[in-house]
């Protein structure tokens, strides 16, 4: 699936396991609850797309561009953002979750305000130039097991709430 261009399509709840999406482009797409485990997203572009509740597992993207898109309640799990450019220009990052992610030598336009609106576990490393948030959405690197369990429970509850909200707003009006 390399160099594929998607325009205004709905791919809700799709799985892209080990998919080569190099140089693929998604414009105006609805990608709610999609899963991208071990996908190659090199030079991949998402513009004006809704990736809410999607999960990115074990990806190491290079030059990933997500512009003017919605990422509400997305999960980035065990991702390495290294020697690459990550563009999140004008994208909504409300309740995005970073679990065991590392931002090393990354050129990214993530602001401190955007990072503060996200969640991070005890092992997630903040991007260079930004400080690790100290809100209750971010676990301390020295968090104990009880705190980690509570954090995961709160995260899952918030994701379920968001899924219900998304379901309500995506149903057609019955008038």
Which pairing describes strands 55-57 and 75-77: parallel, antiparallel, or unpaired?
parallel
Q: What pLDDT sits at residue 27? A: 96
| Rounded Cα distance, 93 and 91, in Å | 6
Q: pLDDT tens digit string along 87-113?
A: 888 888 889 999 999 888 667 788 899
Structure tokens at 88: 């999140």
Q: What pLDDT sits at residue 171? A: 64
- CA 20 from chain centre, in angstroms, equals 18
Q: pLDDT tens digit string along 136-160?
A: 899 998 989 999 999 999 999 999 9
Indicate the pLDDT class of residue 81, thresholds 50, 70 and 90. Answer: confident
Domains in the chain, CATH or no CATH each: 5-170 (2.160.20)
Which pairing describes strands 97-99 and 80-82: parallel, antiparallel, or unpaired?
unpaired
What number of H helices and E strands is found in the chain? Answer: 2, 13
Annotate 59-68 with b (16+ C-beta within 10 A) or e (fewer): bbbbebbbee
Q: What pLDDT sits at residue 101? A: 92
| Rounded Cα distance, 29 and 114, in Å | 22
- Does the model's pTM come out above 0.85? yes
| Selection from 126, 107, 105, 103 nearest residue 116 by Cα | 126
Indicate the pLDDT class of residue 75, thresholds 50, 70 and 90. Answer: very high
């Amino acid at each position: 699936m390399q160099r594929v261009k998607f325009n205004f399509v709905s791919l809700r709840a799709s799985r892209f396991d080990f998919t080569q999406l190099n140089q693929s482009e998604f414009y105006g797409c609805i990608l709610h609850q999609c899963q991208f485990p071990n996908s190659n997203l090199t030079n991949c572009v998402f513009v004006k797309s809704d990736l809410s509740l999607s999960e990115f597992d074990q990806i190491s993207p290079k030059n990933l561009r997500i512009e003017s898109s919605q990422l509400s309640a997305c999960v980035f799990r065990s991702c390495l953002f290294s020697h690459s450019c990550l563009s999140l220009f004008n994208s909504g990052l409300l309740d995005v979750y970073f679990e065991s992610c590392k931002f090393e030598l990354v050129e990214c336009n993530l602001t401190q305000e955007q990072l503060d609106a996200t969640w991070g576990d005890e092992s997630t490393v903040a991007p260079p130039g930004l400080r690790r948030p100290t809100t209750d959405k971010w676990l301390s690197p020295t968090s104990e097991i009880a705190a980690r369990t509570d954090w995961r429970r709160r995260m899952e509850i918030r994701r379920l709430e968001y899924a219900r909200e998304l379901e309500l707003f995506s149903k057609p009006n019955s008038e």
